[in-house]
Every structure is written in structure tokens, then in C-alpha cells.
Structure 1
Amino acid sequence: MKTSILALGFATVASMAAAETPVLTVLTYDSFVAEWGPGPAVEKAFEATCGCDLKFVPAGDGAALLGRVQMEGKTSEADVVLGIDTSLTASARATGLFAAHGQTWANDLPVTYSDADFVPYDWGWFAMVYDKTKVTNVPKTFEELGASDLKIVIEDPRSSTPGLGLLLWVKAAYGDKAKDVWAALADNIVTVTPGWSEAYGLFTEGEADMVLSYTTSPAYHLIAESDDSKAAAVFEEGHYMQVEVAGKLAATDQPDLADKFLAFIGSDAFQSTIPTTNWMYPAVTPSAGLPEGFDRFRPAKSLLMTAEEAAAARDGALAEWQAALAK
């Protein structure tokens, strides 16, 4: 009997302690929380400093995050959203669901970036990645790609931030001629996937010659697999940048903890995980610097619309893309 009472007492104390541990819920995309992504290391490092339970909740790809937040509104259990990018920040701000972050740490982005509601955590250049052992006549522009017989797989701009980034890339590079570029590219597209993971998986399985990814993707194969067969096609018209951000939801019941997490994003403990887990450039250069291979495919020209420009261009660019693929 005494043993049972003691066991019950210990269980009660343990459950009370668990109940008193604050939980910070971060809504993010699937690959961030994968066992090979930044999530596990970030969770361990932050929990060592916060006295809390950091809970990552995956919700598809980047663009799907905003859709979920809009659907849940003020009833969302999330405290922080991590994984939208600057192509969506204007739309995210317009929901009225995000609060000012109040952070003052400086970033090392190659362009000026400052936003009262969203802090950057990484960035990169979109690129068409290919296998050097299979593709020898590498296109130098989207027009050359459209004129080739190369097969590509891309992500859906309605659910994926890389997919939307591709639309803005073509629009920024070609303006009114973007619809002609898409008309030429339509025959090259093998399939359109919901997110990056599915697209890259099809590429590595040999289902396409090229995949929409990042200039840093070949560094993954080089560092993690000792495989130097992958490369990024460097286009003469320039490469569109993606800046990924995190923001605090106004309805959070853990505002101080959310602020602490946003401050943690700027720390070396967070930023040092990015290059070899998310395979992107960190927003703040880690003390150890960048890994080998990160600057092998650095474009000469960077393209990036402001959040407002991206919001204004989005619907028209989407309509051009849909019209081209429907033919």
C-alpha cells in the first residue's frame, strides 16, 4: 500500500511539474522538423536556455503555413510561425494576426532587410539543379531552358514558397515577356509538386533532368554524401532570392517566450545549424563561417522584389503560369 501511495505521489509531482512547464508552439514547414533538418538541434539548444518545451508543428510547405494561419485565425494554438518568406509577408501582415517582434539584432543579408513584424532566419538563391553526369548542355537562361528538351520538376506556387519564388523570378527577369517564357517552359515540366521535398525526391530518383531548388543544394551532396555530381545552372538574367522569416502571432498566450525565441534566432546557436541542415545561407554568419561548397554557384546578379511588389505581382504571375500549363 505504501509503495502504491509513494508511486502515486511521485506521479502527481511529475505531472504537476510537466503542467507548469510552458510550451512554445512553432508552426513551420515539413523539412524544417525532419530528423535531418534544423528542428531537432534548434529544439535542444533553445530548451537548454528557456526552461520550456519547444514544440514544432509541421504544416506542409512554406506557402501552406499562411493558409493554415488564416484558416485558424485567432484560435490558432501556434505562438510563432517560421517558414514564410518575403513573397508572402505583405499578405501575412494584412491578416492582422501578427505582432511586432521588437528585435534589434542585425542580419548579414546581401540586401537591406528590415521588417517590424518578421525576422529573417535564412536566405538563398533559387536555381535549377542538375546532375553533371547526365546534363552536359547546360542552359544559361530560362529562354534556353524552354528551347531545350530537358525535363524539369517544379513546385506549386499556391502551396510552396519555392514555387512562388519561381514565378517571381521569371517575372522579375522578363517582365511583360514572362508569359512567353512560361509558354516555352510548359513542355519541359514533367510535374508540379505540392512542396520542395517531393520535387527534390523525384529529381534524385531520376524522374527529371532538373529541379527547382537552390544554389546551395549541390553543397548538400558534396558535404553530406561526398557526391560532387550535382550543380546549379547559373542564369545570365540573375537569380531570385528567398529570404525566410519568422513572426509572432498576436494571439499567443506565451508572448515573452515567443520574443525569447525570436531573439534566439539571431544567436550563433540557431544560425550555426542552418547551413548543414536547412542548406541555406544563415541570416547571421556563424562564428565558424560557411561550409565548403556554399559559394561554388554564386550568381552575378540578385533579383528580389519588395514585399509590396511581390504581393502586387503575385496574382498576375500566377495567372500567366496557369494559362501556360493549361494549354
Structure 2
Amino acid sequence: MKSLILAAGLSVAATAGLAQDKPVLTVYTYDSFVTEWGPGPLVEKAFEETCNCDLQLVNAGDGASLLSRLQLEGARTEADIVLGLDTNITARAKATGLFAKLSPPPSGLDVPVDWTDDTFAPYDWGYFAFVYDNTKLENVPGSFKELIEADDNLKIVIQDPRSSTPGLGLLMWVKTAYPNKADQIWEALSPRILTVTKGWSEAYGMFLEGEADMVLSYTTSPAYHIVAEGDDTKSAASFEEGHYMQIEVAGKLAATDQPELADAFLAFMTSDAFQSIIPTTNWMYPAKFPADGLPEGFNTLITPVDSLIVSDVDAENIREEALAEWLTALSK
């Protein structure tokens, strides 16, 4: 009996040893990516089938919080990859010196800009928009001006630009559409703001619970309700100023002890296996359209009258002024 127990123990130990021998790739990302309904579980399964490794997805906060955490951890960070920054903060991310160059840069992308960044690779993109319930909101604002002049009872939920990439996206949207009047827009808009949340998930949850009439999200958000729930009551308001574009990216940490595995993940990120997961889990446009195209619900989405975006360098240059305008307006 003892020999059988010993043999079983050795077998378990051997199995554990084999599991420990697998290299670990640690990816810092945001909360909605790692949830059971987000891309994370499917991405983890698909990549581990190709890499003979252990992919660990770590919830490290929303996009702007991701960068703050990295700056605190510095070269001691456990992250090999950071997934969830966007082009509004990539210039700041590069300035930290924490990221390595791509090897090789991605190609054949379907993002609606010429991609020349040699440090970050895109994995999805979309347009910011205010989402509303079309069975409850009758007079839908079609511009920031109309949102400001809407009924006094209309309330919106937005995200904090200091911690959230959507929040920063709204900041850039207003600043790009109204470069010389952004402070006036914010001051006039502030009575409409019910609250400012740290991240997207909390804000969208408040909207779904009926606490606000509109929420800052994406033009693609209604696709979730259509495809996953068979619910066509959520719509995105089309603004005559156009809509600001977000391109989400991932990058490799210079201090990674798994550089080849990190490169393999970044290459996998633009594969059909990864990109086919994005539309119906992250509810954004994929950076490279999968072979089967987009789900049917995506053909009902609004098309912005104009696409607004600035370079990563310009975004960094105007961020402080735009943030100061926002803070001043909301403190009154």
C-alpha cells in the first residue's frame, strides 16, 4: 500500500513539475477584458493551444490606470505585455522607456489610419459615442450643443480621463471638435453630468440600471445588446461634430524575461484566431477583419459623419490643457 501511495505521490509531483516547466507570459490588461464575458478567457485558451505556455491575464485597471501602475512598478514589473493602452497615451508610455520595439511590426491591418508605430500594435478600434435607450429618450441630442440645451432632467454618466481611456477619449473629442471653446463646452455640459466614474464598466452598469439617460461608450456598444441579448433598444447618438476614434494597442515590456514568447503573443494578436474573438466579446472593430467578416448586428451601427483623431504626440501635447479645462469646469 505504501508503495502505491508513494507511486501516486511521485506521479502527482511529476505532473506538477511539468506544469511548472511551462513558461509564464503575464499580460496586464483592463477589467472588462478579463471578465468571463470578455475576450480574455477565449484569448487565453486559443493562445495556450499554440504556445505550450501559461498565459496569465492580470486585471490592472482601466487604460490610464494601467500606465500609472507600470510607472510605479518600473523595470521591476511582472508584466511582459500591456494590453489596453490607446493612442492618446502611447507617447507618454514610450517616454517612460519601459517598452521595447516591436519585432516585427504588424502588417495588413484594417485600422482606418496608416499605422507606423514601431512600439505598439493595435488589436481593435472604435468610435466614442453617447449610448441611450431608444424606448425612453425621445429627443435625442445630435451634437454637443443639443446635449447642452437638452431638457434639464437629462443626465449623462462619463468616465474620469485620469484613470479611463474612454474618459480621456471624451476629453480629446471635445478638444478636437472645439479647440478654442472646449472650456466653454465643459462648463455648459457640467450640469448634465450625473457622476464621473473611474472606469467604463461602472459607468455602463449605472446606465443599464436606469440611473442615467446616456452614457459615454462606443458606437459599437449597441451591437452587444443586439447580438448577445436580441435587444435593439440601445442606440448610439450620431453627433454632427463627428466622433473621436480610439485605437487600442498592446506593447512588450523591455524588462520581460520572455521576449520571444511576448513577440509570439503580439503576432498572435493580429491572427484570425484572436481577431475573430474581438467583435462579440470586446464589442469593437477588429484591427484585422477576420475571414468570416463582422457579425450581422454590426451592420446596424451608425457611421460617424466625420472621424476625429490626433497623433499620439499631439494628444500628449494637448492633454494637460484639456484636462485643466475639464477640472476647472467640473469644480464650479
- Does TM, scored on the shorter chain, surpass 0.5? yes
Q: 1:136 aligns with which of 135, 138, 145?
A: 138
Report 1:304-315 matches (<5 A).
Answer: 304-315=309-320
Q: Deviations over 1:111-133 (max 9, x none)?
A: 21221000000000000000111
Please give the alpha-carbon distance, in whole angstroms, between the structure 2 residues aligned to 1:252 and 1:112. 28
Q: What's 1:242 paired with? A: 246
Deviation at 1:304, TM superposition (A): 0.3
Please give the alpha-carbon distance, in whole angstroms, between the structure 2 residues aligned to 1:241 and 1:251. 31
Q: What's 1:79 paired with? A: 80
Q: What's 2:172 paired with? A: 168
Contact kept? 1:128, 1:214, Cα under 8 Å: yes
Please give the alpha-carbon distance, in whole angstroms, between the structure 1 residues aligned to 2:214 and 2:30. 23
- 2:69 matched to 1:68? yes
Q: 1:153 aligns with which of 152, 157, 177?
A: 157
Identity of aligned residues (%): 64
Q: What's 1:185 paired with? A: 189
- 2:32 matched to 1:28? no
Q: Match of 1:311, SS?
A: helix
Deviation at 1:7, TM superposition (A): 1.9
Q: Deviations over 1:283-323 (max 9, x none)?
A: 00011101123242111200001000000011110100010
Report 1:86-101 matches (<5 A).
Answer: 86-101=87-102
Matched to 2:29, the amino acid is T
- 2:42 matched to 1:46? no
Deviation at 1:4, TM superposition (A): 2.2
TM-score (norm 1): 0.99
Q: Match of 1:157, SS?
A: coil
Q: Match of 1:175, SS?
A: coil
Report the aligned-residue RMSD: 0.8
Please give the alpha-carbon distance, in whole angstroms, between the structure 1 residues aligned to 2:297 and 2:5. 60
Please give the alpha-carbon distance, in whole angstroms, between the structure 2 residues aligned to 1:261 and 1:105. 15
Q: What's 1:206 paired with? A: 210
Q: Deviations over 1:263-289 (max 9, x none)?
A: 000100000000000000000001110
Contact kept? 1:105, 1:263, Cα under 8 Å: no
Q: Match of 1:81, SS?
A: strand
Q: Deviations over 1:164-218 (max 9, x none)?
A: 0000000000001011100111000000000000000000000000000000111
Matched to 2:145, the amino acid is E
Please give the alpha-carbon distance, in whole angstroms, between the structure 1 residues aligned to 2:288 and 2:118. 18
Q: Match of 2:38, SS?
A: coil
TM-score (norm 2): 0.97
Q: Match of 2:129, SS?
A: strand
Segment of structure 1 superposing worse, 44-53 or 7-16: 7-16
Contact kept? 1:203, 1:209, Cα under 8 Å: yes
Q: Match of 2:131, SS?
A: strand
Please give the alpha-carbon distance, in whole angstroms, between the structure 2 residues aligned to 1:271 and 1:183. 40
Please give the alpha-carbon distance, in whole angstroms, between the structure 2 residues aligned to 1:105 and 1:20. 33
Q: Deviations over 1:97-123 (max 9, x none)?
A: 000112343210112122100000000
Matched to 2:184, the amino acid is D
Contact kept? 1:143, 1:184, Cα under 8 Å: no
Q: What's 1:262 paired with? A: 266
- Structure 1 runs (4+) deviating above 4 angstroms are none
Please give the alpha-carbon distance, in whole angstroms, between the structure 2 residues aligned to 1:124 and 1:12. 48
Please give the alpha-carbon distance, in whole angstroms, between the structure 1 residues aligned to 2:16 and 2:224. 42
Q: Match of 1:183, SS?
A: helix
Q: What's 1:301 paired with? A: 306
